Amino acid sequence: MEFFNFHTHQFTNQSNILELVNQYPQEFDASIPYYSIGIHPWYIKEEQIDADLKIIEEKLQTNNCLALGECGLDKRIEIPLEQQIIVFEKQLALAEKYQKPVVIHCVAAFQEVIAIRKKMKISVPMIIHGFSKNSQIAEQLIKAGFYISFGKYLLRNPELKTVFQNIPNERFFLETDTIEEGIREVYNLASEYKNIEIKELQEIISSNFATVFEK
């Protein structure tokens, strides 16, 4: 593995890239070699939750499923936060049961996510994907034990440079999510921001991958 794409919705099938492809329970594609699976807060459907959780639990017991998610909380959608929390906590319980890391979608609810992790005493790694916030929130997350993944906003928002530079090397991943750019472009910018060679960046992320996914 030369490159690891922590979170993507597109499987590009390149031999030198390990892609953690986001899957949904009702749209599962068995041909994808490595994936995460979860109930995204945008797509919570009351009548479907139990069926989705059953599929997720089944997939978590396979080697190809590297993580649960993306799941989480989003205060900018119409689905009530209380319902989102119930679904999120049920998924976290499954991640803990099967010892799988969690890919987190979080919009304007970082304090809630931190509090839930603490309340439930979650021991598995929790990774905030697509981070776009300031250093203060990043520091709170790192202090609370989270990993942080950067991609789209790192490429789009120069103000994230300082935030990214201050993230400890052992606590970040890189991703493409839904953007058209490839993971190499994210690596190129990240290595420039960290002022290190691509090879060193690859070693850092390979080490983080081993810590989180190969326990």
Domain that holds residue 146: 3-213
In the chain, the number of structural domains is: 1
pLDDT over 70 (residue 176): yes
The residue-averaged pLDDT of 41-59 equals 98
- Domain containing 123 — which CATH number? 3.20.20.140
Going by the annotation, the residues of the binding site for a divalent metal cation are 70, 105, 129, 177
Using the predicted structure, report yes or no on whether residue 1 has a pLDDT greater than 90: no
Statement: residue 171 has pLDDT above 80: yes
Q: What percent of the chain has pLDDT over 90?
A: 99
Average pLDDT over residues 6-13: 96
Per-residue pLDDT, averaged over 30-53, amounts to 97
Residue 73 to residue 112: CA distance in whole angstroms: 8
Whole-angstrom Cα distance, residue 173 to residue 91?
Answer: 22
Mean pLDDT of the chain: 97
**pLDDT in the model for residue 21:** 98
Q: Which amino acid is present at 34?
A: Y
Residue-wise pLDDT tens digits, 94-107 = 999 999 999 999 99
* Per-position DSSP letters for the chain, written without gaps between them: --EEEEEES-----TTEEEEEEE-GGG--TT-SSEEE---GGG--GGGHHHHHHHHHHHHTSSSEEEEEEEEEETTSSS-HHHHHHHHHHHHHHHHHHT--EEEEEES-HHHHHHHHHHHT--S-EEE-S--S-HHHHHHHHHTT-EEEESHHHHH-TTHHHHHHTS-GGGEEE--BT-SS-HHHHHHHHHHHHT--HHHHHHHHHHHHHHHH--
Q: Does residue 215 register a pLDDT over 80?
A: no
Who's near 149: CB < 8 A, 6+ residues apart?
A: 6, 7, 127, 128, 129, 130, 131, 172, 173, 174, 175
Task: With beta carbons less than 8 A apart as the criterion, state whether 53 and 93 touch.
Answer: no
CA gap 106, 121 in Å, rounded: 19
Paired strand residues for 35: 21, 65
- pLDDT reading at 53 higher than 70: yes
Q: How far apart are CA 43 and CA 24, in angstroms?
A: 9
pTM of the complete model: 0.97
Tokens of 177: 């999510």
Structure tokens given for 43: 């797509």
List all residues 6 or more positions away from 131 whose beta carbon is below 8 Å from its beta carbon: 138, 148, 149, 150, 153, 160, 163
> Which pLDDT score is estimated for 214?
84
CB of 62 within 8 A of CB of 28?
no
Residue positions in the annotated binding site?
70, 105, 129, 177
